[in-house]
Amino acid sequence: MRIATWNVNSIGARLPRLRGWLSSARPDVLCLQELKCTDEAFPRDEMAELGYEVACYGTGRWNGVAVLSRVGLTDVTCGLVDEPVFEDATQARAIGATCGGVRVWSVYVPNGREPGHPHYQYKLRWLEALRGTVVAESGTGTPFAVLGDFNIAPTDDDVWDISLFTESTHVTEPERKALAMLRDAGLSDVVPRPLKYDRPYTYWDYRQLAFPKNNGMRIDLVYADESFAGAVTDAYVDREERKGKGSSDHAPVVVDLTP
């Protein structure tokens, strides 16, 4: 069984690349983030042509998450329990579904903007709500994982140059502590192979030749419980998908499990 996660940075702009990637990689389950579309605008017919059912949660211009599956799709949950709001609005950042006997959550963790910003506090509160969902749903014997854009680099080696991040989100102690709390709740970080170079970055900025220079970050993560992690046979970052015109700034992370 193949499960993947990909921040596509707009499902509309990425549709040709998404179709091509689904046809070649053929994941059984794909978690998507940053749809930037409403539920009505999601290209369900195009996904159905490729054999995928869709569960999506999107509100338009920003955010938006989905789960695609060709091994069944049930028990869809939109949003976290006690999910915090930002500026009085709930944002579409988490969707859970059960696919082929595996429980997955596709998440787009708030960016945080900068330490001290209200969005940063929102990010930390949001991660606490995610932990609540993990505690409630993982470790039951049904393989469970949270996959998505966590907007946190777990270690200093997960950014290309830590000295450039002294005033930045993504590497602060409270953010990393939130990840540690997820691990304390029974999840482990399924670290993918990089395919090239020595670090499995998943994101490279569009600017300043970041991708050719490999100035990347590992912020798209797979946090899996024991049942899920124990079944993993391989995991890799599909950096080929970051190349060329019309790419997302994130690459897919692919995990293979025993059937």
Residues near DNA (CB under 7 A), total: 39
Asked if residue 111 binds DNA (CB under 7 A), the reply is yes
Residues 133-172 vs DNA: string with x where CB under 7 A? ----------------x-x-----------------xx--
Please state, in angstroms and rounded to a whole number, the distance separating the CA atoms of residues 124 and 110: 9
Any idea which residue has 């970080």 for tokens? 189
- Closest to DNA by CB, 155 vs 233, is 155
**CB distance 30 to 73 below 8 Å:** no
Q: Please choose, out of 32-40, 47-55, 68-76, 132-140, the segment that lies near DNA by the rule CB under 7 A.
A: 32-40
- Closest to DNA by CB, 64 vs 192, is 64
Asked if residue 215 binds DNA (CB under 7 A), the reply is no
Q: Residues 49, 82, 157, 205: which binds DNA (CB under 7 A)? A: 205
Q: Please choose, out of 128-136, 181-189, 198-206, 223-231, the segment that lies near DNA by the rule CB under 7 A.
A: 198-206
Please state, in angstroms and rounded to a whole number, the distance separating the CA atoms of residues 49 and 99: 19
Asked if residue 228 binds DNA (CB under 7 A), the reply is no
Residues 6 or more apart whose Cβ sits within 8 Å of residue 67: 29, 30, 31, 32, 54, 55, 56, 73, 76, 95, 96, 97, 99, 104, 106
Asked if residue 110 binds DNA (CB under 7 A), the reply is yes
Asked if residue 16 binds DNA (CB under 7 A), the reply is no
Q: Please choose, out of 75-83, 108-116, 176-184, 187-195, the segment that lies near DNA by the rule CB under 7 A.
A: 108-116
The 8-class DSSP code of residue 163 comes to G
Q: Please choose, out of 9-17, 21-29, 138-146, 173-181, the segment that lies near DNA by the rule CB under 7 A.
A: 9-17
CB atoms within 10 A of CB 1: 18
| Secondary-structure breakdown of the chain: helix, strand, coil percentages, each rounded to the nearest 5 | 25, 30, 45
Asked if residue 258 binds DNA (CB under 7 A), the reply is no
Asked if residue 119 binds DNA (CB under 7 A), the reply is yes
- Closest to DNA by CB, 144 vs 211, is 211
Asked if residue 43 binds DNA (CB under 7 A), the reply is no
Q: What SS3 state is found at 120? A: helix
Q: Which one, of 235, 238, 123, 239, lies nearest residue 170 by Cα?
A: 123
Nearest 5 degrees, angle CA 57-CA 27-CA 47?
A: 50
Please state, in angstroms and rounded to a whole number, the distance separating the CA atoms of residues 115 and 8: 26
Asked if residue 244 binds DNA (CB under 7 A), the reply is yes
Q: Which residues of 163-174 are buried (b: 16+ CB within 10 A; e: fewer)?
A: eebeeebbbbee
- Closest to DNA by CB, 13 vs 71, is 13
What residues make contact with DNA under the rule CB under 7 A?
Answer: 7, 9-10, 12-13, 34, 36-38, 60-62, 110-111, 113, 119, 149, 151, 169-170, 203, 205-209, 211-214, 217, 219, 242-246, 249-250
